[in-house]
Amino acid sequence: METGFWTSVWSFIKFLPFFFGLFFLGIIKGALFGPWAWLIMTIGISALILGLWPVHVIWTYYCIIRTKVVGPVVKLLLLGAVTILLVLWLVVGIVGSILAGLGYGFLAPVMATFDAVGEGKEKPLIHCFLDGTWSTVTGSCTVVRDMKDMLLHSYFSIMDEIRLHAPPDGKPYEIRLLHIPGSIFAAVCGLVVDSIMFTLIALYKFPVMLFKGWKRLIEDLVGREGPFLETACVPFAGLAILLWPFAVLGAFLASIICSIPFGAYAAVVVYQESSLFLGLSYVISSVSIFDEYTNDVLDMAPGSCFPRFKYRKDEASSHSGSLSRPTSFKEKPDVKKAPQRVTSFKSSFDEFNPFKLLDHLFAECKHHGKDLVAEGVITPKDIEATKAGKVSSGILNVGLPAYVILKSLLRSAKANCDGLILSGGSVITSDNRPKSKIFEWFFDPLMVIKEQIKAENFTEEEESYLGKHVLLISDPKRLKENLPHLPSLNEQKQAEIDAFARRLQGITKSISRYPTFKRRFDALVKALSEELARTMGGS
């Protein structure tokens, strides 16, 4: 046992010069190329925010005024809230672009330097000098372009849906005026109390998180456990030790920022429960909820010294809301256990990356798009209109991705798979899917649709009918021309297929607002345009 310990210590000592050499090389590259990336991101993003801000103000007000989803009172409240958000966006956006540029300009070269000497890399000596240099500058340009797509494409897509969307039951949502004063008062109390208490709690637990994290990482480093078990992860885990104070500082700032939605939620409690008393009870209880949650995260003594009152008339709802702790935390056993160490990082490598999934989606769109171009379903008019920015028809930017997702759902339903089977044979399940809340918004509804498709047990003709419906639903005239005639299809089946198509289009439209979607979509349109030119003999 003693021999093994001294072997680990000697390995640690031998590793230190290698690690610090790479780290200082990354810092040098960051000093040379980081300022250029910082200038590009700061000037580019700030110019976009300032240049588009007047347009965003006018169009936001216009969409709120014209929407039919809410009534006049709610519109008036929204206009006041939006005014505050637009002013904050101007300040936060510009300051955020400066900080993001600094962080990216420093971290990108350092991370690229460590990544260059990972396992399986060819010519690591050359790459550790070259990687993270010019790629840092081009990466900052990509960030600016994605920001432009988000402020133009994603923003206007969301606002148009708000403006054109009809209320579900035909009646606009209206608010009860009687409870507005109490809601505002509770929200103000919540913001004041939570901002002070969350800051104090985070300040108290700041050194706990800092030294506990350092202790665990250093123990793993000496014993080659946890993140240091895999050789490829050792440089990154070593970098985590140096950058851990920044992670703790980020958690501290996040705790302060999170006091805003926690405190403002008191207004929701007052309005939903029609009780100012319950809203103020929530204000006090939210401090206890936050304290308990942070205790569980930091493996401190469970519970809280702050009182936790009942703030819902229905007792169950006070423990099932979005602000209550997860079940895994509540059912924590009395006997305190040390947190389990991670035995390997390989399982995390098998998890799907959201950006890689997006790349896969567009690769499939390219494959199926070429077939649809050859069949004449996608026409030159679609591609030229999309190139000109006229994507209102939605056949290429929404219909084609929805068509590809449908193919995957049908494939998964036939195979009786618990997850989603991709064309290459890979399977996305609840275990290996990206652990992102945004991805859950897309993945979980798709799994529900897959189960419904499995229950329907469509024939091949009905699957073809559904595919054309999903692709062309936004163009009723072309839909009617291209749909195959199925005498066996009754009205109920047609209504179910139409519902499937509309839901898939809605999910895909949400995916199309993803920050990197527009950049990949432009590459897809270019590829389809080239394929169409070849199909038509270059004309």
Q: How large is the angle between the packed helices 517-535 and 134-149, nearest 10 degrees?
A: 90
* Alpha-carbon gap, residue 162 to 173, rounded angstroms: 13
| H-type alpha helices, 376-475 | 380-387, 400-414, 437-456, 460-472
Q: At 437, is the pLDDT very low, low, confident or very high (cuts 50, 70, 90)?
A: low
Contact (CB, 8 A) for 492 and 423: no
Task: List, for residues 238-254, the tens digit of each pLDDT value.
Answer: 667 777 888 888 888 88
Report the b/e string of 178-206 with b at 16+ CB within 10 A.
ebeebbebbbebbbebbbebbeebbeebb
Q: Which span out of 88-97, 217-226, 480-489 was modeled with the highest average pLDDT?
A: 88-97
The rounded distance, in Å, linking the Cα atoms of 146 and 158 is 16
Average pLDDT, integer, range 433-439: 69
pLDDT for 322? 39
- Phi, psi values for residue 500, rounded to 5°: -60, -45
pLDDT digits (tens, 9 = 90+) for 311-351: 887 765 444 443 434 333 334 444 444 344 443 333 333 45
- Whether residue 286 is predicted with pLDDT greater than 70 in this model: the reply is yes
Exposed e or buried b for every residue in 265-277, given b needs 16+ CB within 10 A? bbbbbbbbbebbe
pLDDT at 36: 93
CA dihedral 528, 529, 531, 536 (to 10 degrees): 140
Tokens read off for 490: 């009754």
Residue 421, phi then psi, degrees to nearest 5: -90, 125
Provide the pLDDT for residue 328. 36
Predicted TM-score (pTM) of the model is 0.66
- Give per-residue pLDDT as tens, 133-173: 888 899 999 999 989 988 988 888 888 888 887 777 778 87
55 pLDDT band, cuts 50/70/90, is: very high
H or E, element range at 420: strand 420-421
Residue 356 in this model has a pLDDT that exceeds 80: no
pLDDT reported for residue 526:
76
pLDDT band, residue 15 (cuts 50/70/90):
low
Strands (E), 36-148: none
